[in-house]
Chains A and B, each alone.
Chain A
Amino acid sequence: MHRSLHAFRSAYKMPYRTAQIRLVSSHPEVYEPCDDSFALVDALLADRTNLLEHQPSICMEIGCGSGYIITSLVLILGQEVPGVYYIATDINPHAVKVTQETLNAHGVLAELVCMDIASGLEKRLAGKVDVMVVNPPYVPTPEDEVSRGGIATAWAGGENGRSVIDRILPVAERLLSDRGWLYMVTLTANDPKEICLLMRKKGYASRIIVQRSTEEESLQIIKFWCDSDIQDLNEATSSPRKAAASFVGSLVSQFPRIPFGKSQ
């Protein structure tokens, strides 16, 4: 079995740069690639040169659904970043199976685990992840839809669509390495400014890589990375009075400046 897979890979030399929709597997209870998925892959493509330079050794997706994103990430980094450890999680057991099929159909490998966010990986994978990608359930819904199960898990985000996002952010922060990058999909209703501000307090700079409006929704793909200048600033201003002043300062500077602050 492994021989034929190997032969398949070398015979075709992975001609696609992202996952092919016709090769993406499906299941009635698994989220199909949608505008948000495409926007995230477009962001990864737009940032491809940086990603290749970054030479990540561990890449992770939280909430892999059909596998469209993680498969695309493997293909985008491809042979140019060899020997990457890819791992993806989803809370939906059907999703990890479908992701496996999608990976197989493209002849690429990633490790899959069914779990809530990264609950069984948080200890040992802490500080090790160089690239994390997340397309979370972000649709504002009544809070009880978040845990109802079934396909709603794919999109139900509770109040302001932030229920799951707000649980993912601290986990991401814990898992990312010092040079780690996080790419995340948000909806305008999620208040991305506030998310950036929250992450800024933890020492992360941010930039919108892709901005997209469809008839239904307005999406952003935000990239976060650890910025030692921000960390120093946070430390310098950690006395309550100064913190208040810097809070106002960062509110003012948040969007126009941070997005183009650094060539990440």
Chain B
Amino acid sequence: MNAIISISRRSFIVGVASTAGSLSLGFHLPFIKPSLAQGAVMEPELNAWVVIRPDDTVVIRIARSEMGQGTLTGLAQLVAEELNCDWSKVTTEYPSPAENLARDRVWGNFSTGGSRGIRESHDYVRMGGATAREMLIAAAAAEWGVPASECAATLGTVTHSGSNRTASYGQLAAAAAQVTPPTDVQLKDPKDWTIAGKPLPRLDTADKLNGAQVYGVDLKLPGMVNAAVRACPYFGGKVASFDAAAVASMPGVQKVVQVDETAVAVVADTWWRAKTALDALPVVWDEGPNTGVSSQTIAHILEEGLEADNAFVGAQQGDAPAALTGATKVVSAVYSYPYQNHATMEPMNATALYTPEKCEVWVPTQNGEASLAAAAEAAELPVSQCNVHKIHLGGGFGRRGMQDYVTQAVRIAREFPGTPVKLIWSREEDMLQGRYHPVTQSRLTGALDADGNLTALHMRISGQSILAAVMPQRMQDGMDPIVFQGLTADSPEGHLGYTIPNLLIDHAMRNPPIPPGFWRGVNLNQNAIYVECFVDELAHAAGVDPLAFRRKLMANHPKHLAVLEAVAERIGWDTPAPAGVHRGLAQIMGFGSYVAAAAEVSVTDGQLRIHRIVAATDPGHVVNPAQVERQVEGSFVYGLSACLYGECTVNGGRMEQENFDSYEVVRMADMPEVETIIIPSGGFWGGVGEPTIAVAAPAVLNAIFAATGKRIRSLPLKNHDLA
């Protein structure tokens, strides 16, 4: 019954992080014949996306992971919209990665990152709903002996207009499941949507109000034991030795396990006892080759990259170096951005049950198929003998696309065949074993002519590549294209919103021995700060209002300009701010969406207060405006946490911050009012969860300049005196 979906592949490659950290490999998952599939018995279904039970309940299958971003609800809305079902009867379930492989990847990609959950799958999930609807109509028409064209489906009921006969979807489902799926189904015009596009409440709220929602850390399996793990905190280091006997008789302890070269775990009856024994376990580390590495040495390496002759070119127009040499007025500045930890509220965890014949893993993951590959590799079993059960995530932000904790859980479980082992990282482990937002610096040099026009810009980025460490197969002749997020000339993911006659944006790759990862917003975070703060600097150097200065450069970029104008108008850019309050602007394009922000701040005796931020986003189409607003607000919390406090510092080859007491984040008292303007201009599908993060910080930093005359070029703000 999967004829409608054409995502059929014999094999595929998923990126899997190796246990050692920053290395990775492409892992080959063979196609599994359905007869070999693990996984739950599927209910009778209309197609892969839709099951309708006799009681009219509509089960919509969701391939992407829900980690708070609302994708589960949004994807269900898209299917339900085409299905014309009764939204109040909708429920959801996750197919397992093994089922996906067994069915020739009928659900497509499970990976949930890059703000792609909806924009990458909207067409085939809608087609799933539309095809099921036509099958229900065909079944009713056959039953009544009337042409299908005389029947219509609305709100979960098929009606024949001539005879006024009706039948509910639940009554028709069994017959509909036998109908040959049509291949010529048309999708609705979004302007006719009644379920999609509406600000519906989330489907997954109720269980989050009373403790009923089960997260990975909450999982209970019969006979389960608990594991706490410590990997070498020195990057590149290993376990030299440990004294298992010293903790063997501590309460509840069952075993001390060397997980791999780098990590040791204690398994006990409860996690608290496992952690207590682990804390008491004498471990000697081989600190490895990087103990001389610190934030200062890394900064020096990046500074050298700012001057280097060789660099990968990400965008080029005219001859920027020549134009800069001959310019009347040159402005130059160096910016930098630190390491950050994802710090999901739920620490990394996975539960594994291993026998020599089979390995099962329960895990909150952003990529179920990569988890499956990691489990199979760690179990040394064929993929066909493994399965992954996806669990709702207590935050992801990119960290849970990596699978290091799955590998550890399976390796520990191999020491306990037949017994489920739940591995939970402590917060300290989570902070020390991050896949950190990479570090970069940028020198920007701009030329202004006598009339204050920007005639040339050279933006040199120096620093770390995520892809080189995590997905080397996506590198292009040694270049990491993602470094240039939001900066290229024509990428539909995000192109620069300014036309500059002489432009050069290049990257000197410098990779410190700190494992980087995709961190919500990825490289757009710092690129937006670099460009938008420097454009603000240029405007001031030219003596031109920052909005007027940008407008001149944006004539060829109407969608970038539209979101910028929207926030400027809402914040009242052309009217005086309240006494003591100052404003800043920023715009960028990323993850396929155009975004802008305008901030109002005050600085009193060095004390910053962010009063208000107005955001605008044009993601093309909007599936649930209420969830878009929540994502914008949440993204600002993430972006402002980085701006105000976020910094992981390296000393002696390891991170210094181990918990929220030294890694401060935005809390209630820091939060400004947030207003969100949604301007869906149609014709494309942009992402929502990430792009607006990037404009929060530069809008605030530009407002701080307006308030204090201080230009902040390195984050976080906690390191600066604004008085």
A binds B: no
Residues of A within 8 A of B (CB): none
- Residues in B lying within 8 Å of A, measured CB to CB: none
